[in-house]
Amino acid sequence: MSDLETFRADTRAWLEANCPPEMREPVRSEADACWGGRNFTFQSEAQKRWMTVMGERGWTVPDWPKEYGGGGLSAAETKILREEMKRINARNPLSSFGISMLGPALLKYGTEEQKKRFLPEIARGEIRWCQGYSEPGAGSDLAGLQTKAEDKGDHYLVNGQKVWTSYADKADWIFCLVRTSTESKHGGISFLLFDMESEGVSTKPILLISGYSPFCETFFDNVKVPKDQLVGEVNRGWDVAKYLLGHEREMISGMGLGGGSSTLAKALGEIDDPVLAAEVALFDVDALAFAAMSEHFIDQLKAGEAHPALPSMMKYAGTELNKKRHELIMAAGGSDALEWESDRSRKGKSAREWLRTKANSIEGGTSEVQLGIVAKHILQLPGA
């Protein structure tokens, strides 16, 4: 047996022995996912155990180095682990902005002390992070941000406001873009990390029409941030921000995979309407093509060979595909699918998921903005 075959056999046996049966079903909603953190309430013992055993093995972040809490696996081993988890429908043990966004940025731009301090906590799900990028006047035009950080010798003094900060009211720490100079738009931004319990930080949940509140306004009023919590160089935070966004877009592009292994035609069962059946078949062809492209993309990304604009292309394709998937699910469900409250519809599961997909093509940068990036950096269109 080759080394990789042995690794696959060992991994399969370990997963069989350690993945609780309840964790072999798709995550039903954002609330059903395991987010970790200081104040997280686990939905079940199985959820807690799955996060803990995977965290101890470094398999919440299999390809991070062992000294930072990762599994130290090679790209080929990481892929095998992914395949073996998929084989038994094992859930992602930990949904975490620390893993999908901040971690890669710290690995590239963090100091040795920062890596040792923050990465193992992220890997074990002990600290939950939120993202302080958008502001009332800075969304797509992110570099227009105004939140100010003044140099006060041994610390920065932060004042300003962020908006759409997902789960700011539940997060322990924030990674935050701040303005440290007004001399240059992109060249005056810095990247800070700080505790959400710091004096002067407050959050105000934004209540949506659905009654659900996934994000907040976040206010900073004379927040003191020690200087060793600056990532990268002062005024060079835009490089860190863009690198992190590439990883965020990779994560969101995964929406295109639909979270399951079955085709949509199989999931929907018999469809009477021939036009709808044909649309579903065409969709499945696109979904299979996307899944194949996605495998290739992840391989390139892990090998450090992906074009910097590729995450934008994948984010655009994955989120638009997922919107189409849910349009078709709603069409197949007819007017019943719009039902919103009853237990029979599981409190409007289909309708709520359908609406949520609309936000995927906004968060992490809108579809229009991704198309602009692809036009400019991949297609090199004139005037883009």
Ligand X SMILES: Cc1cc2nc3c(=O)[nH]c(=O)nc-3n(C[C@H](O)[C@H](O)[C@H](O)COP(=O)(O)OP(=O)(O)OC[C@H]3O[C@@H](n4cnc5c(N)ncnc54)[C@H](O)[C@@H]3O)c2cc1C
- Restricted to residues 326-365, the positions that interact with ligand X (CB under 6 A) are 359, 362-363, 365
Q: Which two tokens stand for residue 326?
A: 């849910």
Is residue 120 a contact residue for ligand X (CB under 6 A)?
A: no
Q: Smallest gap, in angstroms, from Cβ of residue 337 to ligand X?
A: 22
Q: What angle do CA 20, 167, 255 make, to 5 degrees?
A: 60
Is residue 369 a contact residue for ligand X (CB under 6 A)?
A: yes
Is residue 146 a contact residue for ligand X (CB under 6 A)?
A: no
User: Which of 115, 315 has the CB closer to ligand X?
Assistant: 315
Contact with ligand X (CB under 6 A): which of 234, 293, 366, 378? 366
Q: Smallest gap, in angstroms, from Cβ of residue 72 to ligand X?
A: 30
Contact with ligand X (CB under 6 A): which of 139, 200, 333, 348? 139
For 253, list phi and psi in degrees, rounded to 5.
-60, -25
Spatial separation of the C-alpha atoms in residues 168 and 148, rounded to whole Å: 19
217 is catalytic: no
Distance from the Cα of residue 103 to its chain's centroid: 11
Catalytic residue among 84, 248, 250, 279: 248
Q: Smallest gap, in angstroms, from Cβ of residue 292 to ligand X?
A: 28
Among 30-38, 72-80, 124-132, 298-306, the segment contacting ligand X (CB under 6 A): 124-132
Distances (CA, A) of 350 to 212, 290, 327, 345, 347: 15, 23, 10, 8, 9
User: Which of 109, 167 has the CB closer to ligand X?
Assistant: 167
- Restricted to residues 250-289, the positions that interact with ligand X (CB under 6 A) are none
3-state SS, residue 79 = helix
* Beta carbons within 8 Å of 367's beta carbon, 6+ residues apart: 316, 319, 320, 361
Q: Which two tokens stand for residue 237?
A: 């935070």
Spatial separation of the C-alpha atoms in residues 198 and 319, rounded to whole Å: 35
Is residue 191 a contact residue for ligand X (CB under 6 A)?
A: no
Tell me which residue of 367, 292, 358 sits closest to 325, measured CA to CA.
358
User: Which of 159, 367 has the CB closer to ligand X?
Assistant: 367
Contact with ligand X (CB under 6 A): which of 59, 64, 129, 133? 133
Contact with ligand X (CB under 6 A): which of 11, 60, 147, 165? 165
Is residue 166 a contact residue for ligand X (CB under 6 A)?
A: yes
DSSP secondary-structure letter at 269?
Answer: -
Is residue 164 a contact residue for ligand X (CB under 6 A)?
A: yes
Q: Smallest gap, in angstroms, from Cβ of residue 283 to ligand X?
A: 23
Q: Mask of contacts with ligand X, 28-67, x by CB under 6 A?
A: ----------------------------------------
Is residue 131 a contact residue for ligand X (CB under 6 A)?
A: yes
- Restricted to residues 192-251, the positions that interact with ligand X (CB under 6 A) are 215
Q: Are strands 230-231 and 173-179 parallel, antiparallel or unpaired?
A: unpaired
Spatial separation of the C-alpha atoms in residues 5 and 139, rounded to whole Å: 47
Q: Smallest gap, in angstroms, from Cβ of residue 168 to ligand X?
A: 8
Contact with ligand X (CB under 6 A): which of 4, 368, 379, 381? 368
Task: Give the 3-state DSSP-derived string for 285-300, with helices as H, strands as E and coil as C.
Answer: HHHHHHHHHHHHHHHH
User: Which of 90, 252 has the CB closer to ligand X?
Assistant: 252
The answer to whether 122 and 102 are in contact (CB under 8 A) is: yes
Spatial separation of the C-alpha atoms in residues 146 and 161, rounded to whole Å: 8
- How many binding residues for ligand X (CB under 6 A)? 19
Among 148-156, 293-301, 322-330, 368-376, the segment contacting ligand X (CB under 6 A): 368-376
* Beta carbons within 8 Å of 365's beta carbon, 6+ residues apart: 140, 245, 249, 312, 315, 373
Spatial separation of the C-alpha atoms in residues 346 and 327, rounded to whole Å: 18
Among all chains, which residue has been given the structure tokens 């060992």? 10
Q: Which residues are catalytic?
A: 248
What does the binding site for ligand X look like in residue numbers (CB under 6 A)? 130-134, 139-140, 164-166, 215, 359, 362-363, 365-366, 368-369, 372
